[in-house]
Amino acid sequence: MKVLLIGSGGREHALAWKLAQSPRLTKLFAAPGNPGIAEHAQLCPLDVDDHAAVLAFCRAEAIDLVVVGPEGPLVAGIADFLRTGGITVFGPSAAAAQLEGSKGFTKDLCARYDIPTGAYRRFSSAAEARAYVEEQGAPIVVKADGLAAGKGVTVAMTTDEALAAIDDCFDGAFGDAGAEVVVEAFLDGEEASFFCLSDGRTALALATAQDHKRVGDGDTGPNTGGMGAYSPAPVMTATMVERTMKEIIEPTIRGMADSGYPFSGVFFAGLMITAKGPELIEYNVRFGDPECQVLMMRLNGDLLALLHAAATGTLDQVSADWSDDVALTVVLASKGYPGAYEKNTAIGTLPQGGQGDKIFHAGTALRDGRLVATGGRVLNVTATGATVAEAQARAYALARQVPWENGFSRSDIGWRAVERERG
Ligand code: AMP
Ligand code: GLY
């Protein structure tokens, strides 16, 4: 099978690495890719926003499957365009991608299908949203409706903070994404991410993970795209997994199909495990980054077979097998991230690592044959172990060998799970 992978982050490096292990793969292309992906794929200089150019490439190369990594192209409708052109695509339609693209859309679906989530209201004017917050009091959560690169959510501990967040949204801090606002009840508990494949009718549970969104140790400081992750999430016991499938995932897949937007591709539920059980915080219509990296380390068997089954409506004919090992990844980011940072800083030769270790590239590039950091999140140093503590120790041992002056990482990825292991 000839596959085109779209994307250029650590998530796509992990997908490329795993796809390259498939006995069914004959050739892997990636657009635009990165130097890590280039070890497994031929990079093509395609503009992925130019859907017609991507379709022409797929036809010229007789691509059997397009795998779309990030949400941007999905929300922009690349999967619809390619499918209409007769290409098999792993990734949801733009209509189904609203599950991530519009928080209001997802909250309304939850209401219609009785999916547990925080009580909420949608607003298109500041005055009404402010009045609602005054009435409800804090803690309370204010969210820009649309895609805001993970920055559109304010978990407000005081009413003033919530009111300021509402004003920011309607003053255009998030552009069009903030033209509508969702205000929802604060959920208290431990978070976990629950990954599933769907072909529109069948949902196949993959695995669970936990990520660390805050930039600082102890989960402090501003939000980022994710500073590290581990899988599985210990809070997701067998009972919680079963309840999540029954109470959240299955009604969602049914609801999307009934509403005329069958969901095909991968998605993950951001869950809060509260005293009542699993409640939905949000959906994402893609693999998480860096959660994908730890999932791929634990997946036994053929990723391509799973993605192809999801893309062709045959998910009921496959199953996924997971290693019992824990995988943990530490993100090395450019100093200053998630604020301003210097670009094109030099990275020396990366260490090899041992069996069960892998360094994935995210924001890197080659300049005159030398590796440089071009993004905020740059490398994902990933390791496995029998316990979270062991995977953590191995990942940090490897991270310390990365010769990159301008890089930093958190020093406590996995801390909550390590504490749990200690009892
Ligand atoms: P989201 O972009 O919706 O995932 O929100 C980002 C983060 O905000 C989540 O990972 C949670 O930590 C937090 N969050 C979002 N909604 C809630 C809520 N209703 N209650 C508590 N925390 C929340
Ligand atoms: N790491 C969080 C995300 O990919 O949304």
Atom 13 (ligand 1) nearest CA: 155
- Give the closest residue (by CA) to ligand 2 atom 4: 288
As annotated, the residues of the chain forming the CATH 3.90.600.10 domain(s) are 326-422
- Which element (helix H / strand E) includes 204? strand 203-211
Residue 341: is its pLDDT beyond 90?
Answer: yes
**DSSP per residue over 27-50, as a string?**
EEEEEE--TTGGGTSEE----TT-
Which is the closest atom of ligand 1 to the Cα of 188?
Answer: 21
pLDDT of residue 150: 62
Query: Cβ(238)–Cβ(229) under 8 Å?
Result: no
- 258-279 tens-digit pLDDT: 999 999 999 999 999 999 999 9
Other Cβ atoms less than 10 A from the Cβ of 296: the count is 24
- Segment 35-39 shows an average pLDDT of 98
**Distance from residue 194's CA to the centre of ligand 1 (Å):** 15
The CA distances from residue 190 to 178, 349, 365, 374, 419, in Å, are 27, 38, 36, 33, 14
Q: Tens of pLDDT along 269-313? A: 999 999 999 999 999 999 999 999 999 999 999 999 999 999 999
Domain formed by 2-90, architecture: 3-Layer(aba) Sandwich (3.40)
Measured CA to CA in angstroms, residue 152 lies from 98, 149, 166, 216 at distances of: 16, 7, 10, 19
pLDDT at 88: 98
pLDDT category at 219 given cuts 50, 70, 90 is very high
Task: Indicate the pLDDT class of residue 145, thresholds 50, 70 and 90.
Answer: confident
Q: Look at residue 144 and give its three-state secondary structure.
A: strand
CA 238 from centroid of its chain's CA atoms: 23
Residue 35 burial (CB count, 10 A): 15
Distances from the Cα of 128 to the Cαs of 104, 123, 376, in angstroms?
16, 7, 37
CATH architecture of 125-179: 2-Layer Sandwich (3.30)
pLDDT band at residue 149 under the 50/70/90 scheme: low
Give the position of tokens 């509508």. 180
* Residue 175 clears pLDDT 80, i.e. is over it: no
Q: What is the pTM of this model?
A: 0.94
CB 211 less than 6 A from any atom of ligand 2: yes
pLDDT number for residue 178: 65
For ligand 2, say whether the CB of 100 is within 6 Å of any of its atoms.
no
| 265 DSSP β-pair partners | 198
What is the domain class of 190-322 according to CATH?
A: alpha beta
Distance CA 70, CA 83 (A): 17
The closest alpha carbon to 154, from 178, 128, 127, belongs to 178
203 alpha carbon, distance to own chain's centre: 18
Structure tokens at 10: 């650590």
Domain with CATH 3.30.1490.20 in the chain: 125-179
List the CATH code of the domain at 326-422: 3.90.600.10
Domain with CATH 3.40.50.20 in the chain: 2-90
Q: Which residues pair with 278 in a beta bridge?
A: 273
Q: In the chain, list all ranges with CATH 3.30.470.20.
A: 190-322
What spacing in Å lies between the alpha carbon of 271 and ligand 1's midpoint? 9
pLDDT at residue 234 in the model: 93
User: Residue 172: pLDDT above 90?
Assistant: no
User: Averaged over 139-145, what is the pLDDT?
Assistant: 90
Mean pLDDT check: name the lowest of 121-125, 267-271, 396-400. 121-125
The set of residues, in sequence order, having a beta carbon less than 8 Å from that of 235 and lying 6+ positions away, is 190, 192, 210, 273
Q: Are 209 and 294 in contact (CB under 8 A)?
A: yes
> In 55-146, at which residue ranges do the beta strands (DSSP E only) sit?
65-68, 89-90, 120-123, 140-144
Pick the ligand that lies closest to the CA of residue 185.
Answer: 1
